[in-house]
Chains A and B, each alone.
Chain A
C-alpha cells in the first residue's frame, strides 16, 4: 500500500502542537488560577487575639446570603451497606443505627431536621444559607438531585425534603424566640436545629465557649476566604494531653468580624475533621420571598409535636445525650468525658449487635470486632468505638462514655467514674 505523505513531518508536529498547547494552557489555568487567587495573604493591620475575639462577639450582621461548604471526616468506621446509619450509629451508639430504617417503614417519611441533619456528620456537603435578621433564616442542603431546606420565619419553622416531597412544620413558642433574638448575630437562635446552626458563625461560637485558662488563643496571620480579607484565629487546648483536638482555626472577616471559615484539626492525621467555610458570601439583603414557605401541592406535611417544637434537638441519634453527665469535672474543658446511661444492659454484645445488622450472631460479632475494640477496667468490660475526633466507650452495663479524648483518656475517665 502506497503511503502518501500529506505533509512534512515538521508541519505535522506543529499541528499536534495545537491540542497539546490547548491542554497545557487548560492545565496551567486550572493549576495556577486558584493558586494565584489564594496567594498573597491580605495585608491587614495587626490585631491582638483579645481584640479579634471581641470583634467577633460584637459582630452584628443582619443580612447575609452565601454558600457554605461543609466537609466532615471524622474517620468513622463505615458500616457495610448503610453509610447514613453508620454515621449515626458510630456516634450515638445503638440509638442511632436503627433510626433511619424504622422511619422508612412508617407511612410518612420523616423529614424532621434531626434525622436529616445527621447525614451532615460525614462527607462533603454544599449548603446555601440566607439570613435577614434574627427572625428569618433559610438553609438548603444541596444534594445531587435533591434538596433539603430548613426555613425559619418568625415563629414558623419549616423543613422540606424534595426527594420525599414531604414537609415538616413546627411553631416556635414566643418566649423562646424573644430570648434568642437579643444580641445575636445572623446565626440567630442557638438551639440545635435552626438554619443558623450549620454555619461557621455558630461553630465558632461553640469553640469560643471553651476559651478559658486551659486554652491558648492566638492570631496567626491572615487569609482570603470567599474573596474577603480575614484574620486567622487559632485556638489550641493547653495542658490537655488526652484531648484529640489539635487546633481550631477560625478565619474572621476583617471588616465585619464574622467568622467565615471554621476548621477543626484532630491530632491524628493532617486532614481537618470538620471544615465549614463560606465559598461565596454576600452582605446584601436577601429576597424576602426566600423566607416564605407554603407546603407544595401533594406534599406530606408532618406537624411537630409541641414539645418537640419548643426545643428542636439536632440529631435524633443524640437524643440520649440530654441525660449526659460529665464524669470528670476536674479536668480541663478539652478532656471532659460525658456518661450516658443508655438503659440497655448488654451493651454492644452479640445480641444487641445482631439487631441492626440483621445477620447471625457470629457475623455480627465479626463485624463488631471490625470497628470496635474490647477494653477492660474498673467499669467492667466494654467496647470502644474510635474515630479521629470522638471516642465512645459502651460498657456491658449499658453506660456510654463519650468524649473528644484519646482512648486511654476515655478509659481513665471511665475508671474514675466507676470508682
Chain B
C-alpha cells in the first residue's frame, strides 16, 4: 500500500487487494466530504438556503396575520396560497422558489470549485500522489458534490418544514387533485419531493464538474457554471425555442409537483430523471476523459 502512484499514472495497473481498494475509495470520499462541508463558503451557502424558507414563512405570516389572504394563485412562487392552510406547503413553496436559481447556483459553486479550486490552490497534485487514481478521485469529488446537492435540498426542506410547522397549522394535506391525505403521507411525499429536487440537480453537478476539469481557476469554473445555468434558464424561457426545450436540463425541474397529484403523474418525473442521468453520463465521462488526460502542472 505504500507504493505511491505518480500524477501521471491515473489508470496505471496497481494491485492492492479489493477490500483495501474499497477502504481507499471510502476514505477518499470521506475526506472529500469533509473538505467540502468544513469550508466556510459551503456553510454560508447552506445558511443562505436555510434563510429563504424562514423569510418566506415569516412574510406570509405577517401578510395574513390580520386575517387577510394571499392574493389568488397567480404571481409569487407556486403553492404560496396553500401555505396558510397547511404548513407543509411551505416546503413545496420554498423548493419551488429556490429551484430556479438559488439551489442550482450553490451547486454550481461547489461543483465548479471541486477540481479547479484544488488546482488553483496547488493541492491537486498532492491528492494525485495518493494511490487512489484519477478516476476514483473524480468519482469521490462527484459523490461529494452529489452529497452537497442532497444536503442543500434537505436544508431548504427541513428549515421550511420547521418554519411551516411553527407558524401555520398542520394536519391533513390536500393534494393537487383535491384529495386529502394524512400528514404522515404528506411528509413522505415531501421527502420524495426533496430527493427528486436533489436528483434534478445531478445534471448541473456533472456539468459543473466537467467545467471544473477544464481550468485551473476555481472562480472561472464557478462563474462559467453559474453563467451557463442562467443562459439555459433564459433559453428555456424563450417560447420560439421550444424545439430544444426538452433537452435543457432545467426543463423538467418543476415536475416535482407531479408527486403531489393523485395518482402521481410519472411521465415528466421519469423524463426528468432520464435527462439528468443523460447529462451525468455525458458530462461525467467528459470530465473523466479530460481529467485523466490532463497535464497537472500546478
**Contact (Cβ within 8 A) B73 A163:** yes
Q: Which residues of B contact A294 (CB under 8 A)?
A: 180
Q: Which residues of B contact A4 (CB under 8 A)?
A: 7-8, 295-297
**Contact (Cβ within 8 A) B72 A104:** yes
- Known contacts A4-B8, A128-B265, A144-B257; is-contact A167 B295 (Cβ 8 Å): no
State which of A144, A151, A161 has its C-beta within 8 Å of the C-beta of B254: A144
**Contact (Cβ within 8 A) B81 A163:** yes
A181 at the interface (CB under 8 A from B): no
Report the separation of the CA atoms of residues A145 and B95 in the bound assembly, to the nearest whole angstrom.
12
**Contact (Cβ within 8 A) B73 A146:** yes
A297 at the interface (CB under 8 A from B): yes
A370 at the interface (CB under 8 A from B): no
- Known contacts A145-B257, A163-B73, A164-B73; is-contact A26 B281 (Cβ 8 Å): yes
Which A32-85 residues have a C-beta within 8 angstroms of B?
A: 67
CB distance from A32 to the nearest CB of B (A): 15
**Contact (Cβ within 8 A) A109 B297:** no
Which B179-197 residues have a C-beta within 8 angstroms of A?
A: 179-180
CB distance from A383 to the nearest CB of B (A): 27
| Residue count of chain B within 8 Å CB distance of chain A | 43
Q: Which residues of B contact A145 (CB under 8 A)?
A: 78-79, 96, 254, 257
State which of A22, A104, A146, A161 has its C-beta within 8 Å of the C-beta of B285: A22
B278 at the interface (CB under 8 A from A): yes
**Contact (Cβ within 8 A) A146 B176:** yes
B27 at the interface (CB under 8 A from A): no
**Contact (Cβ within 8 A) B178 A162:** yes
- Known contacts A4-B8, A297-B172; is-contact A164 B178 (Cβ 8 Å): no
**Contact (Cβ within 8 A) B293 A19:** no
Q: Which residues of A contact B73 (CB under 8 A)?
A: 109, 146, 161, 163-164
**Contact (Cβ within 8 A) B293 A12:** yes
Q: Which residues of A contact B283 (CB under 8 A)?
A: 19
Report the separation of the CA atoms of residues A109 and B69 in the bound assembly, to the nearest whole angstrom.
12
Contact with B along A159-184 (1 / 0, CB 8 A): 01111110100000000000000000
Report the separation of the CA atoms of residues A318 and B293 in the bound assembly, to the nearest whole angstrom.
67
**Contact (Cβ within 8 A) A164 B81:** yes
B288 at the interface (CB under 8 A from A): yes
Q: Which residues of B contact A15 (CB under 8 A)?
A: 288-289, 292-293
**Contact (Cβ within 8 A) A297 B295:** no
Which A126-154 residues have a C-beta within 8 angstroms of B?
A: 128, 140, 142, 144-147, 149, 151
Which B150-187 residues have a C-beta within 8 angstroms of A?
A: 171-172, 174-180
Report the separation of the CA atoms of residues A324 and B143 in the bound assembly, to the nearest whole angstrom.
66
CB distance from B125 to the nearest CB of A (A): 11
**Contact (Cβ within 8 A) B85 A298:** yes
Name the interface size band of chain A: 35 or more
Q: Which residues of A contact B265 (CB under 8 A)?
A: 128, 142
B214 at the interface (CB under 8 A from A): no
**Contact (Cβ within 8 A) A26 B178:** no
**Contact (Cβ within 8 A) B293 A6:** yes
**Contact (Cβ within 8 A) B282 A298:** no
**Contact (Cβ within 8 A) A165 B278:** no
State which of A19, A23, A140, A298 has its C-beta within 8 Å of the C-beta of B174: A298
**Contact (Cβ within 8 A) A1 B297:** yes
- Known contacts A142-B265, A146-B176; is-contact A19 B285 (Cβ 8 Å): yes
A359 at the interface (CB under 8 A from B): no
**Contact (Cβ within 8 A) B8 A6:** yes
**Chain B residue at smallest Cβ distance from A25:** B281
Query: Which residues of B approach A to under 8 Å, CB–CB?
Result: 7-8, 10, 72-74, 78-79, 81-82, 85-86, 96, 171-172, 174-180, 254, 257-258, 261, 265, 267, 278, 281-283, 285-286, 288-290, 292-297
Query: Which residues of A approach B to under 8 Å, CB–CB?
Result: 1-7, 11-12, 15-19, 22-23, 26, 67, 104, 109, 128, 140, 142, 144-147, 149, 151, 158, 160-165, 167, 293-299
Q: List 28 A-B contacts (CB under 8 A).
A: A1-B297, A3-B295, A4-B8, A6-B7, A6-B10, A6-B292, A15-B289, A15-B292, A15-B293, A16-B290, A17-B289, A19-B286, A19-B289, A104-B72, A128-B265, A140-B177, A144-B254, A144-B257, A145-B254, A147-B261, A160-B177, A165-B81, A167-B178, A294-B180, A296-B172, A297-B85, A297-B174, A298-B86
Having A15-B289, A26-B281, A296-B174, one finds 11 other A-B pairs with CB under 8 Å, namely A2-B297, A6-B8, A6-B294, A16-B293, A23-B282, A140-B261, A145-B96, A147-B176, A147-B261, A296-B172, A298-B86
A-B pairs, 7 with minimum CB distance: A163-B73, A145-B78, A160-B178, A19-B286, A296-B174, A147-B176, A15-B289
